[in-house]
Amino acid sequence: MSAQREGASQADPLSHASRGNVGEIPYEPVFVGAMRDELNALLGRYPNKMAALLPALWMVQRERGWVSEEAMVEVAQLLELTPAYVKGVVTFYTMYHQHPVGRYFIQVCTTSPCLACGADKVVESLLSQTGCGDLGATSPDGRFTVIEVECLGACGFATPIMVNEEFIESVTPEKVPQILTRFK
């Protein structure tokens, strides 16, 4: 499949006024300076630019906490893809956030092996202890967002959760308050 963008039949989307941005803050490119160097090094691992797409998106999320539409345009331009193509990839993979989330993004596994060990109780505990109330909602103080995810591959250490990039195993409702104190 060719994802190359030919001709400039479309207007330059980066000039499109503050779409997806908070207020009128202009978009700051991610891949400048050291980030650009890191991306270039990454490109050396693959025979073409498209293969660096997932790693590049991870870099964006590492820097900004989420992948905005402007970021998709920036990545598309750097990797010679179209924004529509990049968006199609971003929406396929569940780990890329397409909108800002709480400072600490909590993912709880509730697939059957963990469910059999009480994962639903862990979710309940997290929702109430963080103040989020509902799955996917951000807590009033902006600290937490809690979602259910599919098997995290730590079934023997039920119930595993992830807090941003940190993987925490063997969580029980009793341990939740203690765990949350680490995340200010």
Partner 1 sequence: MADTPMVSLTIEGRQVQVPAGTSILEAAKVAGVLVPHYCYHPGLPVAGVCRMCLVEVEKSPKLAPACATSVAEGQIVHVHSEASLKARQGVLELLLINHPLDCPICDQSGECELQDYTFREGRAEGRLGPDPKRFNPVEDFGGDVLYVPNRCILCTRCVRFMDDVVHDPVLNVSERGDRALIGKFEGQDLTHEWAPNVVDLCPVGALLSKDFLNKARAWELDRTPSICPNCTQGCNAIFETRDNVVVRMRPRSNADVNQWYLCESGRLDYKWLSPATRIEAPLVRHGDKLSAVDWESAIRAAATTLGGARVVALVSPMLSNESLHLAARVVAKTGGTGVFRVRTGPEAPLEGVPDLALRTERAANVKGAELLGFTKSASPLDTLASGDVLLVIGETLTAADAPALARAGKVIVIGTSLPDEARGATVALPSSTMAEEEGTFTNLRGRVQRYMQATAAPGMTRPAWWILADLLTQLGEPTATFLASEVFAALAASHPAFAGMSYDTLGLKGQIMSGEPAAQEAAR
Partner 2 sequence: MGYPHKSHPKETPILSKYFGEPQARTLEGWKQRGGYRALQQALGMTPADIVNVVKESGLRGRGGAGFPTGMKWSFMKPGDGKAHYLCVNADESEPGTFKDREIMRWTPHALIEGTAIGAYAIGAETAYIYIRGEFTEPLRIMEDAVKEAYAAGLLGANAMGSGKRIDVHVHRGAGAYICGEETALMNSLEGRRGNPRIKPPFPAVAGLFGLPTTINNVETLAAVPHILNNGAAWYKAMSLSSPKSTGSKLFSVCGNVTRPGNYEVTMGYPFKDFLYDMCGGPLPGRKFKAVIPGGSSVPIQSMEEAESTLMDYEGFVAKGTMLGSGGVIVFDDSQCMVRHIARLARFYAHESCAQCTQCREGTAWTTKIMERIEAGQGTFQDFETLLEIGDNMTGKTICVLSDSCAVPVVSGLQKFRHEFEAHITGKRCPFRTAAAA
Question: In the complex, which residues of this chain contact partner 1 (CB under 8 A)?
Answer: 1-7, 9-11, 13, 16, 19, 69, 72-73, 82-85, 87-88, 91-92, 94
Nearest CB to partner 2, comparing residues 108 and 132: 108
How near is the Cβ of 85 to partner 1 at its closest, in Å?
5
Q: Is the dihedral of CA 53, 65, 59, 35 positive or negative?
A: positive
Residue 155 sits in the site that holds partner 2 (CB under 8 A): yes
Look at the block and give the residue holding tokens 């203690």. 178
Select the binding partner of residue 6 from partner 1, partner 2, none (C-beta < 5 to 8 A, by kind): partner 1
Q: Which of residues 102-131 bind partner 2 (CB under 8 A)?
A: 107, 110-118
How near is the Cβ of 84 to partner 1 at its closest, in Å?
4
Give the integer Cα–Cα distance in Å for 182 and 171: 14
Radius of gyration of the chain (CA): 19
Residue 95 sits in the site that holds partner 2 (CB under 8 A): yes
- C-alpha distances (whole Å) from 150 to each of 71, 105, 130, 153 are 27, 15, 21, 9
Tokens matching residue 161: 């959760």
How many residues touch partner 2 under the rule CB under 8 A: the total is 45
Residue 43 sits in the site that holds partner 2 (CB under 8 A): no
Q: Of all helices (H) and strands (E), which one includes residue 162? A: strand 161-163
Give the integer Cα–Cα distance in Å for 150 and 146: 13
Binding site for partner 2 (CB under 8 A): 1, 45, 47-48, 50-55, 57-58, 79, 81, 88-89, 92-96, 107, 110-118, 149-158, 162, 165-167
